C-alpha cells in the first residue's frame, strides 16, 4: 500500500500477551463509530494471527498489517457487524 493509512485511535498493547491485545482492541472498537480506523501496536507474535482472525470474525476490515522492530502494527476499520 503506497498511501499512508490514517488512524482515528491508536492503541498500544506492547508488553501484553494474547489474548489481551485482542480484548483491548475489542473494547476500543466498542467506543468507535463504523468506518473509523484503529491502529493497534502489539509485541506478542501471537497477534499476527489473532488480530486478523478477530477482525474477520467481528465483521471489521483489516486494512494493513506491518512489522517494525519486533512490533506488529495493524490498522483495522470498524465494520457494521458484531463487535
Q: Residue written as cell 467481528?
A: 58
- The set of catalytic residues is 18
pLDDT at position 1 is 46
Taking only the tens place, the pLDDT of each residue in 34-74 is: 999 999 999 999 999 999 999 999 999 999 999 999 999 99
* Domain annotation covers residue 4: no
Percent of the chain with pLDDT over 90: 88
The answer as to whether 3 is a domain residue is: no
Q: Kindly state whether residue 42 falls inside one of the protein's structural domains.
A: yes
Q: Are the C-beta atoms of residues 63 and 47 closer than 8 Å to each other?
A: no
Domain that holds residue 64: 9-77
Residue 2 resides in a domain: no
Judge whether 83 lies within some domain: no
The pLDDT confidence band at residue 3, using thresholds 50, 70 and 90, is low
Question: Would you call 25 helix, strand, or coil by DSSP?
Answer: helix
pLDDT band, residue 33 (cuts 50/70/90): very high
| Structural domain includes residue 39 | yes
2-22 burial code (b ≥16 CB/10 A, e <16): eeeeebeeebebeeeebeebb
- Kindly report which listed range (1-5, 15-19, 43-47) carries the lowest average pLDDT score: 1-5
Supply the CATH number for residue 51's domain. Answer: 3.30.110.40
Question: What element of type H or E holds 68?
Answer: strand 61-68
Amino acid at each position: 500500500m503506497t498511501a499512508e493509512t490514517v488512524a482515528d485511535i491508536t492503541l498500544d498493547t506492547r508488553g501484553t500477551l494474547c489474548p489481551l491485545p485482542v480484548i483491548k482492541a475489542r473494547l476500543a472498537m466498542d467506543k468507535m463509530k463504523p468506518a473509523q480506523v484503529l491502529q493497534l501496536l502489539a509485541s506478542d507474535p501471537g497477534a499476527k494471527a489473532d488480530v486478523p482472525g478477530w477482525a474477520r470474525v467481528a465483521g471489521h476490515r483489516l486494512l494493513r498489517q506491518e512489522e517494525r522492530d519486533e512490533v506488529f502494527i495493524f490498522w483495522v476499520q470498524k465494520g457494521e457487524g458484531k463487535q
